[in-house]
Amino acid sequence: MPELSHGRRMLVLAICCMSLLIVSLDNTVLNVALPSLQRELDASTSGLQWTVDAYTLVLASLLMLAGSTADRIGRRRVFMSGLVVFTLGSLLCSLAPDLNWLVVFRMVQAVGGSMLNPVAMSIITNTFTDPRERARAIGVWGAVVGLSMAAGPLVGGLLVDSVGWRSIFWVNLPVGLAALLLTWRFVPESRAPRARRPDPVGQVLVIALFGSLTYAIIEAPHGSWRSTAPFAALALISLLALLRYEPRRPEPLIDLRFFRSAPFSGATVIAVSAFAALGGFLFLSTLYLQNVRGLSAMEAGLWMLPMAVPTFLCAPLSGRLVGSRGPRLPLLVAGGAMTVSGLLFALFEAETSNATLLLGYVLFGVGFGFGFVNAPITNTAVSGMPLSQAGVASAVASTSRQLGQTLGVAVLGAVLAAGVSASSYASYASYADTFVSASRPGWWILAACGAVVLALGVVTTGVWARGTAERAARRLEGERLSRRAGVDA
């Protein structure tokens, strides 16, 4: 990639942030619209789950493929393709005649989305070659995600109340088209000097594992064991096949040797746990605020601000703490805050009091996501890894985030569906009465996710854990140099 002027680099950063904004905004905006979707499309709890999970599931399955493809055929080309597919998918979502088509079109969106964020980060990394300038650019990137978290509920509430749920997808159209034209005009093409080879078998196994596991969880409360057991079995078979097949490839889709590093393994589990908590938290809170308290979408969006604002404010503080003191303290703060927030709802029925509801939202905002837990996830995942493997390790961490969000909505939605009887949906009063008690196990699960973050924050950031990362890095780099020497010979 040619050296760009400072102004051109800032423009490339702005273009990449535009793609991040629409992808991140899409999830938070959609959550506020779920009750409207439920009423207008006569959707069940599982239908709402699929509306969210169809997107995150496809995203999780294709992130690593999109990144390696962009390195091989050109990052600008894949990024522009992603903008086209995501914008087209958004248009189709706004025109969906029923819930089934909406789920299909959300999957189209996700195919485009998988080509945006990881590829945009790669473009930024290659555009900003100075380490300090690159750090500032990544800080701006993180702030955009925090902005989307804060603005999403308000924007979604305003659009749903004034125009309708279909309008939440219209926001993506002008931004996507503008980003496409600007990318074509100002973003130079770049490729990796040596791209990773494709792994089609590994990719198919990942899709089979994620898809069948999610289906089995979501549909378990609604079907018999005979209808869900085959999908659970397929998930197990896919997992075992991955564990057997991937170590045999010289450049696997998922390098299982990474998991010899305790920090990497911990970061993966922390990402799944934290983002499962996020997905479940947003799902339960949105349905409670609108379906139980009877708030409008705009009012529900305002209630979500106490969660979103701390997330936005804590992001830069977390980054500075990771840089100066390491990932342990931010992870302990995150895990502790998320655990206490879950316990407030599980033990003290925080929903029944405005004060405790507000406190629960603030605590979760401090603990979650791009507040105190997200920066340590990336830092811990690549900690001690050789530079040649850092991008792949980061991609696995990103996939873990999306998988966690998928599983959070699947598991907590299944718990809620199992507790709310079918007859409850016929009566608002009956549904409201049973919702709080039916969601109680879900809050316990969220508290457990926070406890996992807390425990792993201690175990995977100490001297022993750093030693495992160093040994894994030496082994990986040694094997890489041996293979290269064999090729040269």
**DSSP codes, 343-364:** HHHHHH-GGGSHHHHHHHHHHH
DSSP string, 415-435: HHHHHS-GGGGG-HHHHHHHH
- Measured in whole angstroms, the distance separating CA 359 from the mean position of its chain's CA atoms is 24
The long-range contacts involving 345-351, CB below 8 angstroms and separated by at least 24 positions, are 345/439, 345/440, 345/443, 345/446, 346/440, 346/443, 346/444, 346/446, 346/447, 349/436, 351/288, 351/292, 351/436
Which residue is listed with tokens 């804590």?
A: 314
Which pLDDT score is estimated for 391?
Answer: 60
- Measured in whole angstroms, the distance separating CA 215 from the mean position of its chain's CA atoms is 18
Which residue is listed with tokens 């696997």?
A: 252
Q: Alpha-carbon distance 290 to 38, whole Å? A: 11
Which residue is listed with tokens 């041996």?
A: 482
Which pLDDT score is estimated for 385?
Answer: 61
Reported pTM = 0.85
Q: Alpha-carbon distance 343 to 390, whole Å? A: 36
Cβ neighbours around 165 below 10 Å, total: 25
Backbone angles phi, psi at 130, to 5 degrees: -75, 125
Which pLDDT score is estimated for 355?
Answer: 84
Burial class (CB in 10 A: 0-12, 13-18, 19+), 198: middle
Helices in 163-196 by DSSP H: which ranges? Answer: 167-170, 172-186
Which residue is listed with tokens 């958004």?
A: 90
Q: Which amino acid makes up residue 444? A: W
Which pLDDT score is estimated for 239?
Answer: 93
Element (H, E) at 223: none
**Digitized pLDDT (tens) for each residue of the chain, 489 residues in all:** 556 777 888 888 888 888 888 887 877 788 888 888 888 888 888 888 899 889 989 988 888 888 778 878 888 899 999 999 999 999 999 999 999 999 999 999 999 998 887 788 778 777 877 767 766 776 676 667 667 776 778 888 888 888 889 999 998 999 999 999 999 988 888 877 666 778 889 889 999 999 999 988 888 777 666 778 888 999 999 999 999 998 888 778 887 888 888 888 888 899 899 889 988 888 888 888 888 888 888 888 888 888 777 766 666 666 666 666 777 888 888 888 889 988 988 887 777 778 888 888 888 877 664 556 766 776 666 665 665 565 667 678 778 888 888 899 999 888 888 777 544 544 555 666 688 888 889 999 999 999 999 999 888 888 888 788 778 777 776 666 665 555 444
Q: Alpha-carbon distance 232 to 222, whole Å? A: 15
**Up-side HSE of residue 226: CA atoms within 13 Å toward CB?**
0
**Can you tell me whether residue 310 is helix, strand or coil?**
helix
Burial class (CB in 10 A: 0-12, 13-18, 19+), 79: buried
Q: Alpha-carbon distance 274 to 371, whole Å? A: 11
Which residue is listed with tokens 């597919």?
A: 85
Element (H, E) at 389: helix 387-419
Which pLDDT score is estimated for 318?
Answer: 64
Structure tokens at 44: 């069940």
